[in-house]
Amino acid sequence: MNEESVLSALSVALTTAIGALAGAAARPAVFARSVPAPAAARSSCPHCGGAVLARRLPVLHFSGRCPVCAEEIGPRPLVPEAAAAIAFAAVAAGGASGWFAAAQYWLAVCGVALALIDLAVQRLPDVLTFPAFGGTFILLTVAAVAGESGSLGRAAAGAAVLAAVFLLMAATGTMGLGDVKFAPTIGALLGWSGWTCLFWGAAAGFVIGAVSEVAKMAASRARHTHVSFGPYMVIGALAVSVATA
């Protein structure tokens, strides 16, 4: 193994560790926002009522247990940390650099939090979908100013197009409004790289979702009345974005 390969492997390993830390930082947000609508958030243990997020910089143990009664709360042990670590490793291995890579990492950490909340309570809260879009678009704007390869105008158009498509689907009852609000983030990141990237990135989410849901139905022999589409949006978008970087 030559020196360049060693440095590349070390870079991916370091980025993976940073991803695990990002997942740990996202754990409190996942716990707080994993509540059914119309509730906005929670800060206490649902079992004992003990304050869990009372501190200014809340941190939840990776075991996923209440620090007061030791009952399981929030995300399962190591799930946010592992998911973010894998996402960061994939972005690093994809080879993107600069501010566009930063946008990919931002989508990864926001996407992990949103995906876990969606799986838990079938919602994508505004308090996370809006910052996800804002951060992504700001980073892409900086990338454009820095002269990185890509198009900010196409990113904006991609955000609008995907949001419009999801809004039409929501009107037919096949998509939730949380998915509609998250769509501009996905559209902006994919649109930056090209219309082909946008098409395949959006399509990948539907394909992965369809395969996964069919597998679940085959395993449980029961039809799912509600599909948490957020995780599939994140996986499909990141996979195509990384592959085309």
Whether residue 75 has pLDDT greater than 70: yes
Report the pLDDT value the prediction gives residue 222, as an integer from 0 to 100: 56
Report the pLDDT value the prediction gives residue 226, as an integer from 0 to 100: 74
Report the pLDDT value the prediction gives residue 54, as an integer from 0 to 100: 61
Whether residue 60 has pLDDT greater than 50: yes
Q: Which residues contact 158 (CB under 8 A, 6 or more apart)?
A: 187, 188, 190, 191, 192, 195, 198
Whether residue 30 has pLDDT greater than 90: yes
Torsions phi, psi for 152 (to 5 deg): -70, -40
Least reliable range by pLDDT among 53-57, 87-91, 154-158: 53-57
The residues spanned by each domain of the chain are 3-243
Whether residue 2 has pLDDT greater than 80: no
How distant is the alpha carbon of residue 37 from its chain centre?
Answer: 20
What does the alpha-carbon distance between residue 32 and residue 34 come to, in Å, rounded to a whole number? 6
| Omega of the bond leading into 38 within 30 degrees of 0 (cis) | yes
DSSP-assigned states of every residue in 194-221:
-HHHHHHHHHHHHHHHHHHHHHHHHHH-
Q: In the chain, which residue ranges form alpha helices assigned H by DSSP?
A: 3-33, 79-94, 98-121, 126-145, 152-171, 177-193, 195-220, 230-243
Closest CA to 29 of 48, 71, 57: 57
What's the maximum distance between 2 C-alpha atoms anywhere in the chain? 56
If you average pLDDT over residues 122-126, what whole number do you get? 93
Report the pLDDT value the prediction gives residue 3, as an integer from 0 to 100: 66
Are 8 and 33 a contacting pair, CB within 8 Å? no
State the chain's mean pLDDT as an integer: 89
pLDDT in tens, 218-231: 877 655 567 789 99
Radius of gyration of the chain (CA): 18
Report the pLDDT value the prediction gives residue 63, as an integer from 0 to 100: 72
